[in-house]
Amino acid sequence: MSTDLDWFKSSYSGGQGECLEVAPGPTTIHIRDSKQPHTPDPGPAVTVTAPAWAAFLSALR
């Protein structure tokens, strides 16, 4: 996985780090646990397609 991804987490995330971070790409979305150390290795992540991510977000609403 590329380490050049721009990771971000929601402004709704708690101050204790109990959240996920996402890094959108052109065709995939990368998801990781924000509590994992990310240097020098970006840590484990799940990668899903953009349509799968959109379906997941739609199901949450």
Higher pLDDT, 13 or 46: 46
pLDDT of 1 reads: 47
State the pairing for strand pair 28-33/20-24. Answer: antiparallel
Which whole number is the average pLDDT over 45-60? 92
Other CB atoms closer than 10 Å to residue 38's CB: what's the count? 15
Query: What tens digit of pLDDT does each residue of 20-51 get?
Result: 888 998 899 998 887 766 666 656 789 999 99
Higher pLDDT, 3 or 27: 27
